[in-house]
Amino acid sequence: MTFRAILVALVVFASAFAIVAAPAAEVAAAPGDGVVKGKITDAVTGTPLENVCVINGPVAAVCWTHSNSVGDYEVVLPGIPSGYATNLQFFRSGYTSASRDVVVNPNTTQTLDVQMQPTSPGQPPPSVAPPCSPCLGNPPPAAPPPPTFRVYLPNVTRMLGGRYGWHTPFIVQNVGTANTQLRVEYFKFSDGSLVATRNAPVLPGRSFVGSPNDEGDLPADTQFSVVVTSVGSPVVAVVNEHQGGPGVTPEALSYSGLSAGSTKVSLPLVSKMAGGWLTTMIMQNLGTATTTVTATFKRLDQAGTATITRVVQPGRSQFIDPRVEPSLVDGAEYAVTMTAPEPFAVVANAHNDLPGSPAPMGDSFNGVPSVTQTISYSPYVAKNADGVNRSSRVVIQNAGTTAAQPSITLTRYGGGTPTTVTTPTIEAGSSWSFVPTVADGEYSMVVGGGTFATLTTTISPLTAMFYTGTSTLANKLYMPNVTRVLTQDPVADPGWTTPIIIQSADATSATLRWFRFSDGSLVTNQVVTLTPGQATRVDPRSVTGLTNNTQYAVVLESTQQVVAIVTELNLSAGDNAMIYKAFLQP
């Protein structure tokens, strides 16, 4: 089973909320798909029910389809394995929601009729807020408008490259203390047009999941920039980029949504087919006016620069693909510095998956905004680790304006004497890379001595994980999507588990609060002992009170300073490995 199918099957949305979404377009079944269809009726009168929202999973935010005028519905489950177990949910105003477990096989159609109970026969459903009738005296003063927050997702796709091509489900977590109302806007890359909008309320601690492949009003084989507006509470978002299916080797990439932009962004490593690697860059304008992004490329191995520009409308995205840029040299690696008058954000997609690649792999990383802090923390650097020969290459870019020499120390998990790395002086805007010459194992890293942007690339024979260092320490962090053995086929698929790695600057302990996706409940408070200057791994499989096949939103709190990343891993075949960084409070 693909990560996409697992994620969709476990999407969560509070059942008391109204579903606000455009009806899904009809999806034709293809070879390997399973189909569930049937008729939906009133359980009391037997009358067919029109416009019932049908969702795959215990409760998503977007209807897969709606029943027609005679109560008929049909759901297509693409590319499913034999014996796929899922759950269908049915919603209609004035009726109690219905839930049906179903086992579906590929290339089969089964009938599932549903009877829905009216909430109060003959009575309209209750209002969310009863009207004021009558209101005595003067009305109360108007409440101040709720605060507004935005998160930007530069690269979201639907079936990019075909039915089993790139799909980017994204998870938006309410990290405030109040209810919030989300507005999710999809803008086409090709012309910047607004093609779809989603509206959904989200309670504190809970998450909204967008799954573009399952939204029939979005055009297929298309890229989008997405703007998420939250009215009421701050939110954070993580995007999982995934492809895979029959005849397509799985790949998994991940990046973080941006709550704020910068007028300068650093990318420590961009490749134009060096060793088979290609790095594409997607720039999203977070400002209010059309802007020009100027990208300056400096080669890692020798002298040589190039400049490329892109004009980007507000909220929209543009990209740079090195393959079609004649000023960039085949087989070269670059450090890139981007600037613009308006604030913007960048996501870099690093791929080694072109036709002929023996082991397709890749990962994404966020461009590093203007760096002011002089210390950067990286929780995970590997040397022949994890039983699959994961090994890291570290790339350091001077994000300052004058030449500087970095100081680098590596500390092995579990302690020991830190290893100091000998470094050269790096010119402004340039990058230098090294492969750690240390004993096999796992390490945390601290980089000082200047304003540096740090990228760690960790590669095994089949997988790749990229992430950038963190310069801002915190005592509270958010992780929207943490899973424990997330799978719908435990025989064929070992499932997704996402260990958290916490790097302590001076903290001796932290508390992790685990909120279950399905109902938003706090499952457990876990106290973790930390050692200042070291990294500690928290594997969900070893946390008491958590259950397999479950997704969690996690909040980390400490009285002292830490950084953290989430490693998303599945030991099945293919590139099922990725990393995202824990979020600061927006």
Handedness of CA 379, 384, 390, 395 (dihedral sign): positive
The mean of the pLDDT values for the chain is 86
Return all residues near 342 (Cβ < 8 A) that are at least 6 apart. 261, 263, 285, 286, 287, 288, 289, 290, 291, 314
Confidence label for 29 from pLDDT (cuts 50, 70 and 90): low
Q: Do residues 468 and 454 lie in contact, with contact meaning Cβ atoms separated by under 8 Å?
A: yes
Q: How far is CA 183 from CA 152, 197, 488, 517, in A?
A: 12, 7, 30, 20
Lowest average pLDDT, out of 73-87, 365-379, 470-484, 570-584, goes to 73-87
Is pLDDT larger for residue 505 or for residue 88?
505
If one compares 377 and 522, the residue with the highest pLDDT of the two is 377
Look up the pTM and report it.
0.77
What is d(CA 41, CA 215) in angstroms, rounded to the nearest whole number?
25
d(CA 45, CA 115): 10
First to last CA, the chain: 34
pLDDT, position 81: 67
Q: Name beta bridge partners: 561.
A: none
Helix (H) / strand (E) containing 39:
strand 34-42
Residues in the chain: 586
Query: Tokens in use for 300?
Result: 């890692």
Chain-centre distance of CA 140, in angstroms?
A: 42
At 355-379, the pLDDT tens digits run 888 899 999 999 999 888 889 999 9
Q: Does the pLDDT value for residue 4 go beyond 70?
A: no
> What tens digit of pLDDT does each residue of 177-191 get?
888 999 999 999 888
- The encoded tokens of residue 450 equal 């200047």
**How confident is the model at residue 59, as a pLDDT?**
38
In this structure, are residues 540 and 497 in contact, taking their beta carbons and an 8 Å threshold?
A: yes
pLDDT of residue 120: 64
Where b means 16+ CB within 10 Å and e means fewer, 198-219 reads bebbbbbbbbbbbbbbbbbebe
Average the pLDDT over each of 150-154, 198-202, 439-443, 517-521 and give the range with the smallest value: 517-521
Provide the 10 A C-beta neighbour count for residue 314: 16
Residue, of 449 and 63, whose pLDDT is higher = 449
Q: What pLDDT score does 2 carry?
A: 38
Residue with tokens 């999973």: 57
pLDDT per residue as tens digits for the range 269-286: 999 999 999 999 999 999
pLDDT at 24 exceeding the cut of 50? no
- Read off the pLDDT of residues 469-480 as tens digits, 9 standing for 90 and up: 999 999 999 999
Q: Is the pLDDT of residue 493 over 50?
A: yes
Using alpha carbons, list the distances in angstroms from residue 315 to 27, 136, 179, 257, 289.
Answer: 30, 46, 25, 13, 9
pLDDT for res 517 = 82
Tell me, what's the pLDDT at 297? 98
Which is more confidently placed, 235 or 9?
A: 235
Residue 495 has pLDDT above 90, yes or no: no
pLDDT of residue 397: 97
Over residues 544-563, the pLDDT tens digits come to 999 999 989 899 999 999 99
* DSSP-assigned letter for residue 354: S
Q: Phi/psi zone of residue 162: left (φ > 0), alpha (ψ -120 to 50 degrees), beta?
A: left
Grade residue 142 by pLDDT with cuts at 50, 70 and 90: low
Q: Is residue 137 very low, low, confident or very high in pLDDT (cuts 50, 70, 90)? A: very low
In this structure, the number of other CB atoms found within 10 A of the CB of residue 532 comes to: 12
d(CA 549, CA 381): 28
* Banded model confidence at residue 79, pLDDT cuts 50, 70, 90: low
Q: Is the pLDDT of residue 208 over 80?
A: yes
